[in-house]
Amino acid sequence: MKISRVLASFVAMALSVASAAVAGDYSSYYKNLPFDIRQPEAPAIPSRSVSIADFGAKADGVTLNTDAFAKAIESLASQGGGRLVVPSGVWLTGPVVLKSGIELHLDAGAILSLHVAPGEERQDDIRRMEKSRCKGWYCGRRQDMVPLPELH
């Protein structure tokens, strides 16, 4: 358990740096290139927002919240996307598979702790993860408009 908390802290720091980069202006990197390339646009995420807690998730660091994440993501996806807010706390979860138009937003103090114990794996998630390039705690395979999580 101690290793997963350390790993979760490391992931949170890495995502913080990555989200800062996403918010930056990189137009200067696209000037004077020896080839034409279109600058990527930031995804347009619908303004609707839901909290993972509204789907039965608990921030106690003990309760496995994988099903709550899946239900929240499916709910947002069925409405065309939006923001999935993870409030402050330690949220134990298996792999989180995002869909198009969904932003995973971690509030200050929110920690996602990946936990996949023998016998608790969701076979559909494992097959999806094995077929994709993502090997971490969250991914979105063949999806549009999936921004990196932001930490505030």
Chain segment 62-78, per-residue pLDDT in tens: 999 999 999 999 999 99
Residues 6+ apart with CB under 8 A from 94: 64, 66, 114, 115, 116, 120, 121, 122, 125
Sign of the dihedral through C-alpha 67, 91, 7, 103: positive
pLDDT tens for residues 72-100? 999 999 999 999 999 999 999 888 888 88
Sign of the dihedral through C-alpha 112, 18, 108, 147: negative
Per-residue exposure over 24-62, b if at least 16 CB sit within 10 Å of its own CB, e if not: eeeeeeeeeeeeeeeeeeeeebeeeebebbebebbbebe
- 12 three-class SS: helix
Instruction: Compare 113 and 89 and report the one with higher pLDDT.
Output: 89
Which is nearest to 136 in space by CA: 12, 1, 2? 12
Give mean pLDDT, residues 93-115. Answer: 88
Instruction: Compare 149 and 45 and report the one with higher pLDDT.
Output: 45
Give the Å distances, CA to CA, from 58 to 1, 19, 52, 134, 135.
17, 25, 8, 26, 25
pLDDT for position 125: 55
| 120 pLDDT more than 70 | no
| 119 pLDDT more than 70 | no
Q: Are 81 and 46 in contact (CB under 8 A)?
A: yes
Model confidence at 20, pLDDT cuts 50, 70, 90, reads very low
Q: What is the CA radius of gyration of the chain?
A: 16
